[in-house]
Structure 1
């Protein structure tokens, strides 16, 4: 598979979707005036990311996190200076300064920071090298990082990156990569980012920030990502299903704590007749919030999601051209905390249905023209 081009023609979100859905393994190299970046994929999941825009190397990251002291950090950097081809991660392990768990944790933060920064890159060249991680001759970094043991979902990274970007945008007119990194490090619980009153109406805040993006989507996959992004602000877990006349098929998810969650959801197909409860929701075309009725179909889904029955669920049919084309599921496991208000999400889903109608119409016009 050859995937080469410009970010002006193919957005990062689309590139990630292609590699994720295709379960590709290889190295994505991105070069622009803002810097260079490297993102490694294994079976469609992100396992490493490095960029010149990161503020500190891995040794300094361990120092900042309090895992090592200044003396140890200087020793690691000294070895790296003498042996520039030796990865900092290997130096740390050989010195006994950190564990593999420490490396995984720091590497995951670096992956998040790189992807969040890349979301701001609108110009540049990209190239995907299939089935190889050996790209040192194609891109030059001080250090090439650490490959994490359990890959990260590209969909999760895109949703979280967009959320962080939205929060920064509300505070500053022109966010840059450094602001995104600072925001990522602060976490989500800072009182100065809203306080109780704002937290109660996350749906309205998300509605304002995401509606503009929904006006000019690049593809139907971008619309589904926006729906999942919005829902992830209100629910701890969520799954989006595509609805066909007789069955429902998984499209994407967030928050599921199961192995290879994205892959399992995309492989899931459920005959609608197996669940009278879900069939009723689909036929009503109305959102639902309350207990999940138990039947053959819902038992199948909950077993897939992790086998713990939720006390409350939210279901939102997405309508295009007069019929339900998708169904959004949400719950608040594992905490089980009460749902936030969701009027904003309902409004957004109505708008998403209209955007899907527009995308379907445009595709038909193109097919007729071809």
Structure 2
């Protein structure tokens, strides 16, 4: 088995094929792999298993795990700041694991916050109307306990509903 990155089997412009359409196509094909999205210096990835999104992350201004845990009152701001300073000295360590090991929160709280973060990432991506997408087939290599557990149709409908509500809240 080689270490080469698999070539994309599906790619295009989000101005022509919006993300909900691309995700629906992957669902119908029951595809497994990674969907990469790029626009104006921002990159996002959505991992898909059997047509369902199971993990998502972005380089953009998405909510950070620690901030979300503080907002949910699952972690104190002081504990978060302390562990973030330790994490800066020990790159590669996962913040959620560090918070649980320190007794600052529970693994269930971290898992719930991670799922909420991934939903928010996907909701934000559903609004992208420009940029490029590329889907590469292959196995998912992320930790199985960190996965988005929501069916695609519901995810798309909820994301579009939230987008509609935020659009109505913004006076143009």
**TM-score for the superposition, normalised by structure 2:** 0.81
Residue 4 in structure 1 maps to residue 11 in structure 2: yes
Residue 97 in structure 1 maps to residue 104 in structure 2: yes
* Higher helix fraction (1 or 2): 1
Unaligned residue ranges in structure 1 (runs of 5+): 135-143, 175-370
Q: Give per-residue Cα distances to partners, 1:188-224, cap 9 Å, x unaligned.
A: xxxxxxxxxxxxxxxxxxxxxxxxxxxxxxxxxxxxx
Change (3 A) 1:64 1:125: same
The number of equivalent residue pairs is: 165
Change (3 A) 1:95 1:129: farther
For 2:145 and 2:24, locate their aligned partners in 1 and report how far apart those are by CA, in whole Å: 21
How far off its partner does 1:149 sit? Answer: 4.9
Residue 154 in structure 1 maps to residue 152 in structure 2: yes
Which residue pairs with 1:119 in the alignment? 126
Q: Work out whether residues 5 and 127 of structure 1, in 8 Å CA contact, stay in contact via their aligned partners in 2.
A: yes
State how 1:134-283 maps to structure 2 within 5 Å.
148-149=146-147, 151-174=149-172
Q: Work out whether residues 4 and 127 of structure 1, in 8 Å CA contact, stay in contact via their aligned partners in 2.
A: yes
Q: Work out whether residues 119 and 162 of structure 1, in 8 Å CA contact, stay in contact via their aligned partners in 2.
A: yes
Instruction: Please say which structure displays the higher CA radius of gyration.
Output: 1
For 1:8 and 1:154, locate their aligned partners in 2 and report how far apart those are by CA, in whole Å: 21
Change (3 A) 1:68 1:49: same
State how 1:56-95 maps to structure 2 within 5 Å.
56-95=63-102
Structure possessing the higher relative contact order (Cα contacts under 8 Å, 6 or more residues apart):
2
Q: Give per-residue Cα distances to partners, 1:90-128, cap 9 Å, x unaligned.
A: 322333333332122112211221122112211111122
How far off its partner does 1:154 sit? Answer: 1.5
**TM-score for the superposition, normalised by structure 1:** 0.40
For 1:78 and 1:127, locate their aligned partners in 2 and report how far apart those are by CA, in whole Å: 36
